[in-house]
Amino acid sequence: MNRRVVVTGVGLITPLATGVEESWTKILAGENGIGRITKFDPTGFKTQIAGEVKDFKPEDWVQKKQVKRLDTFIHYALGASRMAWEMAGLPAELSSDLSEKAGCLIGVGLGGLHTLEETVGALTEKGPNARVSPFFIPKLIGNMASGQVAIEYNLKGPNICIVTACAAGSHSVGEAGEFIKRGAADLMLCGGSEAVITPTTLAGFGAARAISTNNDNPAKASRPFDAKRDGFIMSEGAGILVLEEREHALERGAPIMAELTGYGLSCDAHHMTAPDPNGDGAYRCMRMAVASAGMDVDQIDYINAHGTSTELNDALETKAIRRLFGEHADKLPVSSTKSMIGHMLGATGGVEAVFSVLSLRDQVMPPTINYENPDPACDLDYVPNVKREARIKNVLSNSFGFGGTNASLVFSEPGE
């Protein structure tokens, strides 16, 4: 089936802002959303900084009676989905025919960890006499973001949740596109949502020595590809897209922002947390995405990198890009928006997919801020510190996760 997939709406909740345009404006300005943790007292932890969502009010996006029944990651998914839904110009109620051909695929990394920690704490303190919410399990499990969004918009088509660590958001967008291509759906809400800035998560990533300890200078802590990078910054938020079959979007006069032209996925099969030392999984994943788009490598104009600010990831992503793109890599801009908003784990692929679409819309590449000290192992054009206007036809977006799981997406200008 030669069904084409287009993007007709997007939604964003980030440490910079609740909303698409405000988040994007601040990204292009190189603003930083990282600060000292306020959701709990981080005193005593080696890392005391994160990218917290600051201005989100769940009651603005969720029915009042539902707020306490849903975990924060579900709140974020509902908020970003409404933004995307409204931008796409979709009706409040779908027709019965479209309802059965509309679905939802929202990925997560860890799910309702806030809920889990609160409940375990109560049981530890009071034992079997602790009051456990009847909504504990529905608040906890990862697929309830997709489930609640489906309930909100009466989406009766495909509804699943992908949990592939830091690649979950990108896998969700890619697989949602595959549903549309093969005719299982005409419309999909997809992306990622995450809200796991908790003591347990902070302790766990800290024990793994994966996160930055630059507590005295949070604005400079996330520094992808810089020689002085010392780990990623944990953050939270959501990025949601409306994908539609192209003819379906045209028939209803929808605003087409971009086309999803390529999708690749692979596994390193090497180590539970460390990437393949040759960058082989990332290379094969990007190669598949570009090939599935029917393109030559020199047709990619910009890469929104995974770029976590960890020593191994940044060097090996660079190595994989050089291997795939050859001489084109010398003139191929690559940047990491994680330098400004940190790493949203399961949500990051959805958020960066939205940024990729906005790069095409506005013909601009966001910067990699805090790039001050060149690293011989990272020798590409990282759009250092200042946005760059340029002619952009095709964007590649990368996400690589624990377990060696990889996802790459290609977004292109809307074609004829």
Looking at the annotation, which residues are catalytic?
166
- For residue 174, the SS3 value is helix
Say how far apart CA 410 and CA 413 lie, in whole Å.
10
Say how far apart CA 33 and CA 44 lie, in whole Å.
22
Residue 370 contacts residue 222 (beta carbons within 8 Å): yes
Query: Long-range contacts for 250-256 (Cβ within 8 Å, ≥24 apart)?
Result: 252/89, 253/89, 254/8, 254/88, 254/89, 255/8, 255/9, 255/87, 255/88, 255/89, 256/6, 256/7, 256/8, 256/414
* CA dihedral angle for residue 52, residue 49, residue 16, residue 413, rounded to 10 degrees: -100
**How do beta strands 102-107 and 187-194 pair?**
parallel
> Tell me, what amino acid is at 17?
A
Task: Say if residue 64 is exposed, middle or buried (CB neighbours under 10 Å; 0-12, 13-18, 19+).
Answer: exposed
**How do beta strands 35-36 and 49-50 pair?**
antiparallel
What are the phi and psi torsion angles at 261 (to 5°)? Answer: -105, -20
- 381: which 2 tokens? 């054009």
Say how far apart CA 145 and CA 139 lie, in whole Å.
9
Residue 372 contacts residue 280 (beta carbons within 8 Å): no
Residue 259 contacts residue 246 (beta carbons within 8 Å): yes
